[in-house]
Structure 1
């Protein structure tokens, strides 16, 4: 494993600035997630580190050494793509072994067999080793795709939204699997996604991207609780943060234009009366959809409440976040 440093990288495609002066430090053994919507620059950064693209400016260093003059193979990175990228005519065993049989690695066959068996057991596909790739389910194919990266011992694993094409249950299962693998291997991972649940549950650090710029970087809890802007606050949290006029409850600081309230940061039983519009029982808790002076608000309550649509519930802010007219954090 290795430390990876990205310093001042920029990349432009035609008139589109895909990456703008990004600085990023990925410590040895970290699980870093780049989070942002389509077009934010996530995949471009991954490709710049892998050597599939060359930056217009800046540098990429692995273990303190610039790799700009190196091919992807020489950089010793392992990449997992959104699509499965398997050889359909090969068995699972041969798909997993393929990277180890490259002329560059020259791995002995006994070592290949050991690593393939080990990774197959970790990913719960050992019983499928002699199956053709075409005989697998979508979830199994993605496990093999991830396994092809894991059989190696690269400087860094680069993962480009590898779970986005799977159904909800498989995504949840593989999130747990990847976090466990990271803990067991002590691997360095850079993972890109637009899914905030993946970022919150897997990352040791999250980088939030906005139009090619890295706007905040830190532990997921820190970014959730102390976002630097309204944009960052909206990237993490489910249900999404409530954004309301800062004057709605009074007591807003100078320059504040918007108050941000996480659903769990709304005190119930005191304050202004809000109308209950809809009640959503979720088992362990209940989601309440409220309306206050024409503004929609979502909050959470316990599963045993007896509120119904049409009732009124007094509410007031608890640990609010304030933002100015440009969306930057005030308090």
Structure 2
């Protein structure tokens, strides 16, 4: 495996700047998740590293070697696309074997069989090995696509929302399996997702992209607890962070325009009165939807709370985050 370094990488498509002077280091053996809305530059970053697209400026290094001018095959990367990329006329087994039969790898037959069997069991498709790819469900096709990358031992795995088409249970199972495979093998993995749970549970590092710029890079806990901006704060956390006018509570510092409160950082039982507008019982916790001075707030409370819509509850901020007029974090 290898460290991946982007130095001042820029990519333009006509007048649109897809990546704007991005510098980032993906440490060797790390699981890095890129977060951001559609158009932020996540997939473009993967395509730059894989060699499918070339940067207009800056340099990319994999394992200390410059990648400029090298084809995807020469870079020894494995990429999983959001859309299935299977050979429809081949069986599942043949699709999984295909990258191992490359003349560049020259994998022995016994090793091919061992790897295919192991990955098929992990991805719960061992019973489908002799099926044609066209006979699979959408979720099964995506699992084969993931498996075709996992059977290799590339310098880096690049995954573009690989679990988005799977049902909730399989998605949760594969989150665990992917993280286990990555941690056990020491693989370097760069992963794009919109799923905040995937980012929090799988990543060693999170990169937050905004309109082609990398605005924050750090551990999931660091980005969650110490976001550099309202934009970064909104990328992680479910329910989303509450953003309110800074003067809605007393004690705001100078230059503060907004206060950010994570749902778990709203203390109940003291402070100022708010109206309960909705109660969501989720089993392990309960979400309270509150109306406070004409602003809507979501917080969490005891799973067995007796509160109901129409009740009054007192609240006050705990561990608030403050942001200036441009949405940047104030110390």
TM-score normalized by structure 2?
0.98
- The answer on 1:21 being equivalent to 2:21 is yes
**SS in structure 2 at match of 1:247:** helix
- Alpha-carbon deviation of 1:273? 0.1
Alignment RMSD, CA only?
1.0
State the distance in 2 between where 1:122 and 1:184 align: 13
Aligned to 1:185: 185
- Alpha-carbon deviation of 1:238? 0.3
Number of equivalences: 331
Q: Deviations over 1:215-236 (max 9, x none)?
A: 0000001100000001100111
**SS in structure 1 at match of 2:252:** coil
- Alpha-carbon deviation of 1:67? 1.0
- The answer on 1:66 being equivalent to 2:53 is no
- The answer on 1:155 being equivalent to 2:143 is no
State the distance in 2 between where 1:15 and 1:199 align: 31
Question: 1:267-278 alignment to 2 at 5 Å?
Answer: 267-278=267-278
- Alpha-carbon deviation of 1:307? 0.9
State the distance in 2 between where 1:195 and 1:123 align: 20
Aligned to 2:264: 264
- Alpha-carbon deviation of 1:214? 0.3
Aligned to 2:235: 235
TM-score normalized by structure 1?
0.98
The worse-fitting range, judged by mean Cα deviation, of 175-184 and 48-57 is: 175-184
Question: 1:166-185 alignment to 2 at 5 Å?
Answer: 166-185=166-185
State the distance in 1 between where 2:15 and 2:48 align: 18
- Alpha-carbon deviation of 1:174? 1.6
**SS in structure 2 at match of 1:289:** strand
State the distance in 2 between where 1:203 and 1:209 align: 15
- Alpha-carbon deviation of 1:169? 2.3
Does structure 1 conserve the Cα–Cα contact (< 8 Å) formed by 2:139 and 2:165?
no
**SS in structure 1 at match of 2:330:** coil
Q: Deviations over 1:15-39 (max 9, x none)?
A: 1100001111111110000100000
**SS in structure 1 at match of 2:264:** coil
- The answer on 1:46 being equivalent to 2:46 is yes
State the distance in 1 between where 2:116 and 2:308 align: 56
State the distance in 2 between where 1:20 and 1:196 align: 24
Question: 1:99-118 alignment to 2 at 5 Å?
Answer: 99-118=99-118
- Alpha-carbon deviation of 1:299? 0.4
Structure 2 gap segments, 5+ residues each: none
Aligned to 1:135: 135
- Alpha-carbon deviation of 1:84? 1.6
Aligned to 2:287: 287
- The answer on 1:123 being equivalent to 2:123 is yes
- Alpha-carbon deviation of 1:100? 1.2
Does structure 1 conserve the Cα–Cα contact (< 8 Å) formed by 2:290 and 2:297?
yes
Structure 1 gap segments, 5+ residues each: none
